[in-house]
A and B are shown apart, each in its own frame.
Chain A
């Protein structure tokens, strides 16, 4: 569902030609249908170009009258803005994205703990429950390679929001919110274990699923997967990301 308000845009933007030119000016994300640069597979058609899309940023109003799922988004955004304004830090939220009936607040990582505290304590927000953090690795998102995605649930207002923050690979630090939501203890350990995101201020950031002496963070996209040797003249089954596959 598109949340862009078409009517608000200047007329020129409706021209398909302009849209097309914009699309062609976007940087190329990848070429070819099969993303297998490492094997000898030549069956893939190599002429296709996939272009990057700009990150989604929605403008007010966030509530779409035709979509009941978005009913309280404006209220939540106002309450969050007011609460953060009271703490004197309005630049905490970089952008807001409304997509598929869900609202995402992209928060600067420095402000994460303050935002979490406001989300929990402000009477108009009251997000009592944090359902944990999930790491996501975007190697192509330069300067923001590692994302930490939080979901909050308010029982008082029966509302659900997502908070997303990002950090660069070179400095993979995100503040811990365990002091606000103790339930995130294990979730942050899991995100550290699998993505190498360091949650500053976590009481005991150790591996949780992988063995203690494990090297690397296995759910990162650049983690080598390894192949499986088979008993046929030294052949191996290539790792899944190098096999021929559709993208």
Chain B
């Protein structure tokens, strides 16, 4: 194939001029924008494609359309307030963001071995539910982009069951700010265990339905088999982790390799596939959901009564929340305690809520296996009550670099499948 240097630039500008130029030249290659407002690019992702007919000869990615300066914002809030910001990064995996952030703050504080058992179990349970919710969205949007709307409606319906639990536990469907440095914001409300048991009973059927719909579906196979291939050396070089790496044959999972939050105490398998294509990534994701169900079940068994916040009056968030007649609010018992019971409790409440706690100077990196891959949080403290610098290593950001490797030489239609199999969330990519 001879590639000419001459091309028609249709990536912007006046259409009349573009058409005029196209008619005047004999160039075959066409440069087009896909996105940033394209229904199949998972938010504001801009792909700049050079096309030779239907074939993509070059694929470049433009990001930054959803940059909101979360990392900078964190530097002007207390360490505890930080959770409300990081939860909004990758908005489909809020609990992973919070957990990674809190683990790094806890490492800085040197309290990582004093987190109450119950808090860790709750964290693990919510993270695994979140993993399933995120994978359901990955499959749902993928189905929608390929035109399979049943996959879309099913995926979002199953996810809603999980979001109902999140809403019950944290008060919100997304953006929870539930995991806090030192533990979690509040204990599980009554009825949670029953609701999770219901989900454990219902969800395997739903996953089986999904499997029946997709595992052997000839149309689905045609669109996903041998598409957007990325092998193991490619993954390593491009820093690709998570389901994409495991779909290339390496059983690498931080939950097993560097356990955090007590993952070493759970029994589960790490699903692997060696296909390296879009279909393999789907198979890994759906198998991971089944493993997540196992972990959630073990969480319920481990859930022993106890505190959910570190018992350190200098760090632990003092306010207790309770369900009142008009929704969630401060617990009347706590208010009675600080207003008339204990002067020290009042001082601690006031100091922690207004000023926050001090974190000894230093730096720490904590990584969790999020639904998308290694989610790392690097936090620097100068000894003050606010972060000096927080940097998130978001897996979506890193994985989008693989678009060129996956798409070049394929067809335009496969670009959609490739991007969907990466499962990028622009909130996390741009932060």
Say yes or no for A57: interface residue by CB 8 A criterion: no
Contact of A151 among B76, B110, B258, B378 (CB under 8 A): B378
Say yes or no for B241: interface residue by CB 8 A criterion: yes
Interface residues of chain A: helix, strand, loop or mixed (majority): mixed
Contacts of A136 in B (CB 8 A): 380, 388-389
11 other contacts beyond A102-B363, A129-B241, A219-B72, with CB at 8 A cut-off?
A100-B364, A101-B107, A128-B236, A134-B389, A149-B378, A151-B376, A160-B258, A162-B363, A187-B393, A241-B76, A245-B386
> When chains A and B are docked, how far (Å) is the Cα of A190 from the Cα of B391?
11
Comparing B49-57, B61-69, B138-146, the segment that makes contact with chain A is B61-69
Residue among A53, A135, A149, A246 with the most chain B CB within 10 A? A246
- Digit string of B237-269 for contact with A (CB within 8 Å is 1, else 0)? 111110000000010100001100000000000
> When chains A and B are docked, how far (Å) is the Cα of A218 from the Cα of B355?
26
Binding site for A on B (CB under 8 A): 63-64, 67, 69, 71-72, 76, 107-108, 110, 236-241, 250, 252, 257-258, 354-356, 361-365, 367, 374, 376, 378, 380, 383-386, 388-389, 391, 393, 397-398, 400-401, 430-431
Contacts of B236 in A (CB 8 A): 128-129
> When chains A and B are docked, how far (Å) is the Cα of A53 from the Cα of B381?
13
Say yes or no for A142: interface residue by CB 8 A criterion: no
State the total of A-B contacts with C-beta under 8 angstroms.
Answer: 107
Contacts of B63 in A (CB 8 A): 208-209
Interface residues of chain B: helix, strand, loop or mixed (majority): mixed
Contact: B69 with A218, CB < 8 Å? yes
Contacts of B391 in A (CB 8 A): 134-135, 149
> When chains A and B are docked, how far (Å) is the Cα of A245 from the Cα of B238?
42
Using known A-B contacts A158-B258, A241-B76, determine if residue A129 contacts B361 with beta carbons closer than 8 Å.
Answer: no
Contact: B64 with A210, CB < 8 Å? yes
Contact: B385 with A247, CB < 8 Å? yes
Using known A-B contacts A132-B393, A134-B389, determine if residue A210 contacts B67 with beta carbons closer than 8 Å.
Answer: yes
Contact: A1 with B110, CB < 8 Å? yes
Contact: A186 with B397, CB < 8 Å? yes
Closest CB-CB distance, B65 to chain A, in whole Å?
A: 9
Contact: B239 with A130, CB < 8 Å? yes
A-B contact pairs, 14 of them (CB 8 A): A1-B110, A50-B383, A100-B108, A129-B241, A131-B393, A134-B389, A134-B393, A160-B367, A162-B363, A182-B238, A185-B401, A209-B431, A241-B76, A247-B385
B63 closest partner in A (C-beta):
A208
> When chains A and B are docked, how far (Å) is the Cα of A183 from the Cα of B404?
13
Contact: B110 with A183, CB < 8 Å? no
Using known A-B contacts A53-B361, A131-B374, A185-B401, determine if residue A219 contacts B71 with beta carbons closer than 8 Å.
Answer: yes
Using known A-B contacts A101-B107, A218-B72, determine if residue A209 contacts B64 with beta carbons closer than 8 Å.
Answer: yes
> When chains A and B are docked, how far (Å) is the Cα of A247 from the Cα of B386?
7
Contacts of A194 in B (CB 8 A): 71
Contact: A208 with B252, CB < 8 Å? no
Contacts of A155 in B (CB 8 A): 250, 252, 257
> When chains A and B are docked, how far (Å) is the Cα of A206 from the Cα of B36?
19
Say yes or no for A240: interface residue by CB 8 A criterion: yes
Interface bracket on A: 35 or more
Contact: B376 with A186, CB < 8 Å? no
A-B residue pairs, 9 tightest by C-beta: A183-B239, A134-B391, A240-B76, A209-B64, A209-B67, A246-B355, A182-B237, A136-B389, A131-B393
Contacts of A99 in B (CB 8 A): 362-363
Contacts of A131 in B (CB 8 A): 239, 367, 374, 376, 393, 398
Contacts of A153 in B (CB 8 A): 374
- Which residues, 123 to 181 on A, are CB-close (under 8 Å) to B? 128-132, 134-137, 149, 151, 153, 155, 158, 160, 162, 181
Using known A-B contacts A158-B257, A247-B385, determine if residue A100 contacts B362 with beta carbons closer than 8 Å.
Answer: yes
Say yes or no for A211: interface residue by CB 8 A criterion: yes
- Which residues, 97 to 112 on A, are CB-close (under 8 Å) to B? 99-102, 104
Contact: B110 with A181, CB < 8 Å? no
Contact: B110 with A100, CB < 8 Å? yes
Contacts of B257 in A (CB 8 A): 155, 158
Closest CB-CB distance, A186 to chain B, in whole Å?
A: 5
Residue among B107, B362, B389 with the most chain A CB within 10 A? B389
A220 closest partner in B (C-beta):
B72
> When chains A and B are docked, how far (Å) is the Cα of A151 from the Cα of B250?
20
- Digit string of A31-55 for contact with B (CB within 8 Å is 1, else 0)? 0000000000000000000100100
Contact: A134 with B378, CB < 8 Å? yes
A247 closest partner in B (C-beta):
B384
> When chains A and B are docked, how far (Å) is the Cα of A211 from the Cα of B65?
9
